[in-house]
Chain A
Amino acid sequence: MRLSAVQSAYTRPTNVANQSLSSRATAHSNAIGRAAYFQGTPSRRAKTAIFLIASDKRRCFSSAQCNQAWLSPGVCAVLKAWLSPGVCAVLKACSQAEPRHAAWLSPGVCAVLKAWLSPGVCAVLTGTAMALRSAAARLLTCNGRGVALTAARTQSTAAPQKDSDGKLRQAVKKPKVQFDWKDALELEGQLTEEEKMIRDTFRTYCQDKLMPRILMANRNEVFHREIVNEMGELGVLGPTIKGYDCAGTSYVAYGLIAREVERVDSSYRSVMSVQSSLVMHPIYTYGTEEQKQKYLPKLARGELLGCFGLTEPNHGSDPGSMETRARFNPSSRTFTLNGTKTWITSSPMADVCVVWAKCEDGEVRGFLLERGMPGLSTPQIQGKFSLRASSTGMIVMEDVEVPEENLLPHVTGLAGPFGCLNSARYGISWGALGAAEFCFHAARQYTLDRVQFGVPLARNQLMQKKMADMLTEITIGLQSCLQLGRLIDQKKAAPEMISMLKRNSCGKALDIARQARDMLGGNGIADEYHVIRHVMNLEAVNTYEGTHDIHALILGRAITGLQSFTVGK
């Protein structure tokens, strides 16, 4: 029990690399010795103390930390000869400098020791106090119980010891690892060189080219369509697709890209996600070769803007009950689509729409609609207070004739849209943390700069607590996203994993943004400080692609095996 616990604790030597086999054995015997020390009678304790002091010396020959340098075997022998068990225990306590061992050093005991300790012994002890530096010297002046309790860690001022080869060993100090609040768990070391280069290049583009536009774009609700072309030139649209003029990078790189864009604004990342995961991905995964050749290169370059139509005014979280219908006309080999989709990112300016409609057999299928088809209109949604820098609208279909070639043939049912949504949700998990990071950094800088009551705001405990919480959530979130990205790249990811992280990232990011807004005080509501824009945007980000609660139900079903989406079943 206690003994074995102590043993096991001590049998892990600290400087394994520096210790030879013999010293490791010594350390082990030390462990047993120390364990025995807790249990034995006083005289046995004393003998153990001497043994330990003596054995400590052997260990220090090969260990890098020479705390007991002065304890040569000769000195030990002398000490052993005329020191009583009590004094040995004192020395032991000094060399170990552990307060709880010396709890028994009451002022009375000190007085007794002082009385019979000869000058010679005092000299030895004071001499060694130079090496031990703390407890021994103070003990001799007998300041009482507090002395040993406050004993500092023993530091050796002795000359560097020569080991058995006679070579001089320097006291090796391990270089102290610096904590970096910008990258608390060293995500940097977990990325490949390519991923780092992609992230750095794209970060420079976002900060140089997107950041200057966003203030006015958000204020005046303007969508800069040319951004899609710029991103296309950089090759970040549909980055995970192989071929068709796409880059073919890893999902981790996709996540890093999303994080950098959303650091500027969630609207831009929404547009990028829609284009990559909700338009290019379904064409690539479920489309015919002709469709891929026709649409993918142009979508990759940003020449064509796409949108994704699943949500309806009366069916958001419940896409399975959608009312949009596709009726097949065998005579013309076309489908006639009727229905309305709403909350469609980019629809007012989109050239191609991926619309999901229910066919006569009750199955949901995907169709590619192009601007210009009669009956297709895309009115803009006005009065939006979130994602203002991107254009959101509806897709209204009144007897739109869609040729048979525009059906996405390789998927039937809700698996189609959900496959796309999972890809987008993964990007959002990274992206939301990018927005959170921006808010955290902004709050930190603001509270460092702003002085109230004579001190920077950051000096206050409430501010620091909030920042500590932000740092923790962002760091942990990024680690989880990295792991998810790696799993997706290895094709070992399940949809529930993505649900879990989308929900976590969005929920935490929204909290962080709100906290940051609060920390910025009155300036926090001004769009010049940008945080309020993230607060507004993250409300939508938390809701779209599966609300916070819906993802909870997805996880609940995975945990319990019981679905709680519908009642009465």
Chain B
Amino acid sequence: MAGRVLVGVKRVIDYAVKIRVKPDKTGVVTDGVKHSMNPFCEIAVEEAVRLREKKLMKEVIAVSCGPQQCQETIRTALAMGADRGIHVEVSGKDYENLGPLQVSKIMAALAKKEEASLVIVGKQAIDGDCNQTGQMTAALLDWPQGTFASEVSVDGDGLKVEREIDGGLESVRIKMPAVVTADLRLNEPRYATLPNIMKAKKKKIASVKPADLGVELTSRLEILAVEDPPQRQSGVKVESVQDLVTKLRDSGTL
């Protein structure tokens, strides 16, 4: 029952970089800033590769949407063990407006085109923190979804997914084809070994345009402004509870 796994990887600003807001407040400075693969996407790739190594899946395809630099991110996925890559070319204004809805449409189209049995993505990206792409993809494909997965195992013709929810852990059994979103404790991503990095050079990355997939990229959202959070003000120390109540009343909070 070995099928294809489609893994979505996103190129984001590296988690260790200090973010700066652009002076015109339209976004965050990205020029010359170090980028890398979204950590949750790394976990997703690792899970996909492990499934292939256990012979439960036969091929891992890494997908990324964005400008030319996304190919580096796909290369990293290939170095971790993915078999081939697909780069969906989106640049300029389209890329600035690219959100979960557009990406999920692209993923859905690719999942159908590549006849994938499983789509794994990270639960959220560390720049947008939307936590929507996986869920929207499942909805567009009308496939079951196992989100916030902390454990995935194949169970007959379906998957058993252990989900991390607010109350604890939830086990669900979903039929394949399905969409899974990876949470932090799903696995620990491997370091790409040198021989694999060298082999990744030879693996293919296909380029497609969203139009080829029949996906329209107009965004329904408009970013009005991006600002720094307000500077933290210093607090005031009070001597007694009475003082505290008085102060709260004076400031109108009570």
Chain B residues with a Cβ closer than 8 Å to the other chain, count: 16
- Which of A's residues lie within 8 Å of B, judged by CB? 178, 180, 193-194, 197-198, 200-202, 204-205, 233-236, 239, 246-249, 253
> Chain A residues with Cβ under 8 A from B196's Cβ?
235
Check B194 against A249 for contact (C-beta < 8 Å): yes
- Of the residues B32, B193, B198, contact of A234 by C-beta under 8 Å: B193
**5 nearest A-B residue pairs (beta carbon):** A235-B194, A247-B194, A235-B193, A235-B195, A247-B195
Check A234 against B75 for contact (C-beta < 8 Å): no
Check B79 against A201 for contact (C-beta < 8 Å): yes
A107 to chain B, nearest CB (A): 44
Say yes or no for B64: interface residue by CB 8 A criterion.
no
Check A201 against B32 for contact (C-beta < 8 Å): no
Check A201 against B192 for contact (C-beta < 8 Å): yes
Residue of B nearest to A236 (CB): B194
A244 to chain B, nearest CB (A): 12
Which secondary structure characterizes the binding site on chain A?
A: helix
Check A247 against B198 for contact (C-beta < 8 Å): yes
Task: Type the 1/0 row for B75-114, where 1 means its CB is closer than 8 Å to any CB of A.
Answer: 1100100000000000000000000000000000000000
Given contacts A197-B192, A234-B191, 7 further A-B contacts (CB under 8 A): A194-B197, A235-B194, A235-B195, A246-B195, A247-B195, A249-B198, A253-B194
Say yes or no for B201: interface residue by CB 8 A criterion.
yes
| 23 residue pairs A–B, Cβ–Cβ below 8 Å | A178-B32, A193-B72, A193-B75, A194-B198, A194-B201, A197-B75, A197-B79, A197-B192, A197-B197, A201-B192, A201-B197, A202-B191, A204-B191, A205-B191, A233-B193, A235-B195, A235-B196, A236-B194, A247-B195, A247-B198, A248-B195, A248-B198, A253-B194
> Chain A residues with Cβ under 8 A from B197's Cβ?
194, 197-198, 201
In the complex, what distance in Å separates the CA atom of A469 from the CA atom of B228?
A: 36
In the complex, what distance in Å separates the CA atom of A344 from the CA atom of B197?
A: 33
Given contacts A178-B32, A193-B75, contact A198 B194 (CB under 8 A): yes
B73 to chain A, nearest CB (A): 11
In the complex, what distance in Å separates the CA atom of A554 from the CA atom of B174?
A: 71
Check B194 against A239 for contact (C-beta < 8 Å): yes
- Which of B's residues lie within 8 Å of A, judged by CB? 32, 36, 72, 75-76, 79, 191-198, 200-201
> Chain B residues with Cβ under 8 A from A233's Cβ?
193
In the complex, what distance in Å separates the CA atom of A283 from the CA atom of B79?
A: 29
B75 to chain A, nearest CB (A): 7
In the complex, what distance in Å separates the CA atom of A247 from the CA atom of B196?
A: 8
> Chain A residues with Cβ under 8 A from B194's Cβ?
198, 234-236, 239, 247, 249, 253
In the complex, what distance in Å separates the CA atom of A204 from the CA atom of B37?
A: 13
B191 to chain A, nearest CB (A): 5
> Chain B residues with Cβ under 8 A from A178's Cβ?
32
In the complex, what distance in Å separates the CA atom of A336 from the CA atom of B144?
A: 73
> Chain A residues with Cβ under 8 A from B201's Cβ?
194
In the complex, what distance in Å separates the CA atom of A562 from the CA atom of B198?
A: 45
Centre residue among B79, B195, B196 by max chain A CB count within 10 A:
B195
> Chain B residues with Cβ under 8 A from A204's Cβ?
191
A409 to chain B, nearest CB (A): 29
> Chain B residues with Cβ under 8 A from A198's Cβ?
194, 197
> Chain B residues with Cβ under 8 A from A248's Cβ?
195, 198
In the complex, what distance in Å separates the CA atom of A205 from the CA atom of B191?
A: 7
> Chain A residues with Cβ under 8 A from B200's Cβ?
197
Given contacts A178-B32, A247-B198, A248-B198, contact A197 B193 (CB under 8 A): no
A297 to chain B, nearest CB (A): 12
B14 to chain A, nearest CB (A): 10
In the complex, what distance in Å separates the CA atom of A149 from the CA atom of B192?
A: 62
Centre residue among B32, B194, B198 by max chain A CB count within 10 A:
B194
Given contacts A247-B198, A248-B198, A249-B198, contact A197 B76 (CB under 8 A): yes
> Chain B residues with Cβ under 8 A from A193's Cβ?
72, 75
In the complex, what distance in Å separates the CA atom of A233 from the CA atom of B196?
A: 11
> Chain B residues with Cβ under 8 A from A247's Cβ?
193-195, 198
> Chain A residues with Cβ under 8 A from B193's Cβ?
233-235, 247
B231 to chain A, nearest CB (A): 21
In the complex, what distance in Å separates the CA atom of A248 from the CA atom of B192?
A: 15
B36 to chain A, nearest CB (A): 8
In the complex, what distance in Å separates the CA atom of A558 from the CA atom of B79?
A: 44
In the complex, what distance in Å separates the CA atom of A351 from the CA atom of B196?
A: 28
In the complex, what distance in Å separates the CA atom of A180 from the CA atom of B31?
A: 13
> Chain A residues with Cβ under 8 A from B195's Cβ?
235, 246-248
In the complex, what distance in Å separates the CA atom of A178 from the CA atom of B172?
A: 51
> Chain A residues with Cβ under 8 A from B36's Cβ?
200
Centre residue among A178, A194, A236, A249 by max chain B CB count within 10 A:
A194
In the complex, what distance in Å separates the CA atom of A197 from the CA atom of B37?
A: 12
> Chain A residues with Cβ under 8 A from B75's Cβ?
193, 197
In the complex, what distance in Å separates the CA atom of A466 from the CA atom of B222?
A: 49
B240 to chain A, nearest CB (A): 35
> Chain B residues with Cβ under 8 A from A246's Cβ?
195
> Chain B residues with Cβ under 8 A from A200's Cβ?
36
